[in-house]
Each structure stands twice: as structure tokens, then as C-alpha cells.
Amino acid sequence: MFKRFLKLEWKSFFRGSSVGINLAMKILRIVGICFFVLWLAMMSFIAYFYVQEEMNEDPLKIISRFLIIGWLIDLVFKYMIQQIPTQNIKPFLTQNIPKKVVVNYTLIKTFLTPLSWFNSIFLVTFCGILVFNGYGFLGVFTWFIGVSSLFYLNNFINLLFNDKESVAIGVGIFVAVFAALNYYEIVPILSYSEKLFYNLYERPYFAVVPVVLFLGLWKITFNYIRKGFYLDEGLEAKKEIGKTENIAFLNKYGAIGTFINNDIKMLKRNKVTKGVVIGSFMFVFYGLLMFSNKYYQTPAALMFMGLFVTGGFQFTFGGRVPAFDSAYYPLMMTLNVPYKEYIKGKWWLMNIVTVFSIVLALFYVYFGWDVYLAFFAAGIYNIGVNSQFTLLSGAYNKNLIDLNSKEKRVGQKNTFTFKTIILMVPKMLLPMAVYGIFFYFFGITAAVTSIAVLGLLGFIFREKIFDIIIKVYKTEKYSTIEAFKKD
């Protein structure tokens, strides 16, 4: 039966009107996967030899110490990205196929995504290096089995709690508290992590615990999914009763205020857009990465982080205009909708959030004014330049977004096209290059000023740029409508 399922997956890929696009994206995806596989394998060598030769420590102990952080990062990424493939399994429910077979196939399919097995590339390579350098095979094997079981059970935790945002927020607060306790050396979390994971090597029988946890969660998740595995229950998109709400003061700004009002309502009501808001808030803390690696502290890297810290909402929301409106976009295009005001409404909303992000980023002053000034300059650039380039890239995004679906937060399809990739040059590479060059030759004041001037120029000439953007949107209008109808 599983063999038949795989045949159907293969056939579905080569059928439909978007075979060429799918094939091109698959090829790019395979290239990306190969890159990450090689990178993770290389990182295992670096982890072993750097710890052994530079730190004079036991590599297995050091890796075990930080595995708790890796486990949490893996869980967060799976919560944000991974999903149940409901669209592919719905047709099987009307066939004479045992439900337990379909449920098990669904669970197994979640392990086949690269996000699930990427960590295994690092672990397998690292374990091979350990055995080659004299570590006991049995201990290394049980360590690998135990660690892999704990990472793979994240799939089940994600499926059990994915639609319970209150639980996710509670867990996030709990993790933040423990991170603070470890940072101030009140509770040595990393020391506990080292003892816990290293025991899998020293005492091989300990590996039974994570394996039992894995099998137990498999059973619990199986029962949980099987219980709601019906077309009219668990797999149906949940819709809430609509509520009439209005932000009155926005009405005085005419059509632009109306569009902003509608977008705020959309952001509040739908799970996908709520995820965008949460994700953009998380981007504010992206700059903390600079303390994990010295390369993040270079001027160009500071600018790169500043663009994300202050522009997280722009990149996650603006790049999907008009995809977020895809459900009614064809109807909207038959009405007398002022296109310029429609675009301006999105632009003002993005920039209002960008201003809030600049204010929230004030805590980076704690790490030095040079850090915050770089982020401040990046925020000005996002307001004046990137906001418009992001809207321009949205014109080429023709992937429908179903706001009522159980889809994950990062989006429902790949939103990258060749044109959007080209637009990354003025969005990311240009400000990084300008800031780095001016910083190197003239200092931080000149670097910040140069980026701020670019942002102000973009803001001053925004009306001319809007005309260009609207022209592109109108050129792409009919192909966009056709793509939304096909999906």
C-alpha cells in the first residue's frame, strides 16, 4: 500500500498545468538541499576538530552540552514550517483503504521532509568521526539512536500542539525563563544537557528512554490524528464567526485608511496572518545572533541583521501582496478600486510596523550605540527603499494563500521567483555594500548617514516609484488573476 502511495505522489508531480514551474523549483530545491547536506557534514568536522584542538575538550561532551539548544531550535522551526499533508491524503478517505494505514503513511511522510532529517546528516557524520578516532562503537551508536529519537519526536510534538497557540506561547515563556536562569548561572541548564546526553554514550542502556518516548508519542499522535481523520471534522478548515469591527480614526484618510483597516482586520482574524505578525516580532531579536559568531559583528553583517530586525514585517507581509488578497482579488479587479491607494495602504501599514520595530530595537543600545545606529540606518532604508522594492516583488508572487486553511505560518508555497531573487540585490546587497565601504573608509557616522540618505531619497521620490510599481502590477494583473483562479 505504501508503494502505491509513493507512485501516486510521483504521478501527481508530473501532472497539472504547472509542471514546468514545479520542476524548476524542485531542481532549485535539490541544489539547496545538497548545499545544506555538504554544509552540515562540514560542520561536524569543524565541531570535532575545533573543540579537540583549540579548546582541548572532549568533542562529544561539548556537543552534548549544546544539544538542548539544537533540540529547541529544531522544535521551533518545525512548529513554524512543518505541516500535515492534508491536501494529499483527503482523496484516500473515500477509498477502500484502512484508516490506520493512511494515518501511518501521513506520519511517515512528515519524516521525509528535509527539515526532519537534516540534523541526521550532522549526527551521522559526527558519529563516524568519533568511531574513527577511537570512541566505542556501542556507545556512539546508542548516543546516535537516543539523540535522533529525541529530535524526531519533535515531529509528534508539533502535530499535537500545532493548532494550540496558547500552549506555544506558554512554552516560549517557559523556555525564555530557563534561558535567563542559565545566562545568570542560577540553573546550569547546559551542564544538565551535557550530563543527560553524554549518559547515552557512557551508559548505553539509557538510550531505551528516548526510544520509548518516541514510540509512545507515535502512538499518542496516531490516536490523536485518527480521532479527527474525517473530511467534515479534523481535516476541514475551521472558520470563525465573522465580527464587525472598525478602527474609526483611519476612516478620515479615505481609501488608504479603508485598505489599512481591512488589512489590520485580516491580520487579527486569520491564523496565517497571525503567524506573520508573530514571525515579524521574532525578527526583532535576530540581531542577537551577532554574539554567537564573530563574523556577525562586521559592518556589512550588522547592516544585514538590521534590515531583518527592523523589516521583518515588510519581508513576510509585503512580499505577499496581493497573495494575501488572492481569495477575492479577481472580484476586486472588476470593481472601481483605486490601485494606487491600494498599494499605498499596504506601504503605510508596513512602514508603521517598521517604525515600531525601530523603537523596539532600542534595547540593542545595551550592546553599543554603533550596533543600534546600524539598525536605525537599516530601518530608515527599509522605510524609504525596501518597502517599495518589497511591494514590487509582490507583483511577481502568484501563489494563492488560503487564509482559512491549517497551513503553516511561513506560507503555503514557495514565494521565490527569479525576479524576486534579482530584487534581493537592491534590498539586501546594496545597503550592505554601501554601509561596509563607508564604514571602512570614513567611519560609522558616514556609514549611517549614507544609508539614511538612500532611505530619505526613496521616501522623497516615493510617488514616482509608486507609478512604476503600479504599472508593473497592472501588467501582471491578468496573469495573477489567472494563477489565483487555477489554484
Asked if the structure places residue 415 within a domain, the reply is yes
- Whether residues 264 and 125 share a domain: the answer is no
Task: Clarify whether residues 264 and 311 are in a common domain.
Answer: yes
Task: Please give the mean pLDDT across all residues of the chain.
Answer: 79
Q: Which residue has the higher pLDDT, 83 or 143?
A: 143
What does each C-alpha distance from 290 to 54, 305, 378, 425 come to in angstroms? 21, 8, 16, 22
pTM: 0.56
pLDDT exceeding 70 applies to what percent of the chain?
A: 77
Residue 136 CA to residue 351 CA, distance in Å, equals: 57
Q: Which of 213, 212, 14, 234 is nearest to 106 (CA)?
A: 234
Residues 172 and 275 in one domain: no
Q: How far is CA 324 from CA 207, 278, 398, 399, 439, in A?
A: 46, 16, 10, 9, 39
Last-in-domain residue among 227, 261, 287: 227
431 occurs within a structural domain: yes
Q: Are residues 425 and 329 in the same domain?
A: yes
Write out the residue range of the structural domain in which residue 126 sits: 2-227
In terms of domains, do 434 and 299 share one?
yes
68-74's contacts with Cβ under 8 Å and 24+ in sequence apart are: 68/189, 68/190, 68/192, 68/193, 68/196, 68/197, 69/190, 69/193, 70/119, 70/151, 71/150, 71/151, 71/154, 72/175, 74/119, 74/151, 74/154
Between these two residues, 219 and 367, which has the higher pLDDT value?
219
Q: Do 93 and 199 share a domain, yes or no?
A: yes
Q: Residue 107 corresponds to which cell in the numbers above?
A: 506520519
Residue 21 domain-assigned (yes or no) = yes
- The lowest-confidence range among 183-197, 220-234, 385-399 is 220-234
State whether the Cα torsion 190-195-201-204 is positive or negative: negative
Tell which residue, 462, 339, 459, 315, has the closest CA to residue 390: 315
Q: What pLDDT, on a 0 to 100 scale, did the predictor assign at position 305?
A: 87
> What DSSP assignment string belongs to 337-406?
--HHHHHHHHHHHHHHHHHHHHHHGGGGGGG-HHHHHHHHHHHHHIIIIIHHHHHHHHTT------TTS-
- Whether the pLDDT of residue 255 is over 90: the answer is no
pLDDT of residue 474: 83
For the record, the C-alpha cell of 370 comes out as 554603533
Whole-number Å distance between alpha carbons of 401 and 394: 13
Q: Say if 315 falls within a structural domain.
A: yes
Is residue 27 in some structural domain?
Answer: yes
| Residue 223 and residue 256 in one domain | no
For residue 35, the model assigns a pLDDT of 80
pLDDT, tens digit (0-9, with 9 covering 90-100), for 42-96: 889 988 998 888 888 899 999 999 999 889 888 887 876 666 655 456 666 666 6
115 pLDDT band (50/70/90 cuts)? confident
Give the contacts of 32 (CB within 8 A, at least 6 positions apart).
none
Q: 308: which DSSP letter?
A: H
Cell matching residue 354:
517598521
Same domain, 262 and 195: no
For residue 233, being part of any structural domain is answered with: no
Same domain, 129 and 218: yes
**Residue 200 identity:** L
Question: Confidence band (pLDDT; 50, 70, 90) for 138?
Answer: very high
At 20 the pLDDT is 46
| Same-domain status, 192 and 329 | no
Amino acid at 131: V
Apex 97 CA angle, 91 and 101, nearest 5: 100
* CA–CA distance, 158 with 221 (Å, rounded to integer): 10
Is the pLDDT at 216 greater than 90, yes or no? yes
80 or 101, which is more confident: 101
Q: How far apart are CA 397 and CA 113, in angstroms?
A: 24
Q: What grid cell was written down for 441?
A: 573608509
277 vs 313: CA distance, rounded Å: 7
Question: What's residue 240's pLDDT?
Answer: 45
Give the pLDDT confidence of 178-187 residue by residue, as tens digits: 777 777 778 8
Same domain assignment for residues 296 and 332: yes
pLDDT for the residue 214: 93
CA 62, 63, 64, 70 dihedral sign is positive
DSSP E strand boundaries for 284-334: none
Is position 340 within any domain? yes
Contact assessment for residue 36 and residue 117, using Cβ atoms and an 8 Å cutoff: no
| Nearest in space to 158 (alpha carbons), one of 80, 56, 103 | 80
Closest of 460, 320, 316 to residue 383, by C-alpha: 460
Helix, strand and coil percent figures for the chain, each rounded to 5: 80, 0, 20
Residue 244 lies in a domain: no
| pLDDT tens digits for range 381-413 | 999 998 888 888 877 777 777 665 544 443 344
Residue 123 and residue 169 share a domain? yes
Q: At what angle do helices 137-161 and 189-202 cross, to 10 degrees?
A: 130
Which has the closest alpha carbon to 275: 250, 311, 305, 312? 312
Instruction: Give the per-residue pLDDT at 106.
Output: 81
Q: Are 210 and 154 in contact (CB under 8 A)?
A: no
- pLDDT band at 329, cuts 50/70/90? confident
Per the structure, how many domains does the chain have?
A: 2
Cβ distance 274 to 268 under 8 Å?
A: yes
pLDDT of 442 strictly over 60: yes
Closest to 83 measured CA to CA, from 283, 237, 267: 237
